Amino acid sequence: MVSREVVVNSSTGLHARPATLLVKKASSFKSDISIEFKGKKANVKSLIGVLSLAVTRDSKVTVIASGDDEALAVEEISKLIESME
């Protein structure tokens, strides 16, 4: 299992468009990938799950992956979250 804490830079947080991009990216990995925010955890491959966290701008989230490509998954998902504006 690999995890990393990242800051959400997107002006809308992880809502609608940013969440959709995140789910698409996560779906390209074999690993189980989740995101944790304020004690709640959601599967990043589930749009409803990501939206249910209601992550806002400048929030810190933890990306967690477990599986064959876990290190790459955490790296790529973290980069995507940090690069969204």
Are the CB atoms for 13 and 55 separated by under 8 Å? yes
Are the CB atoms for 76 and 2 separated by under 8 Å? no
Cite the active site residues: 15
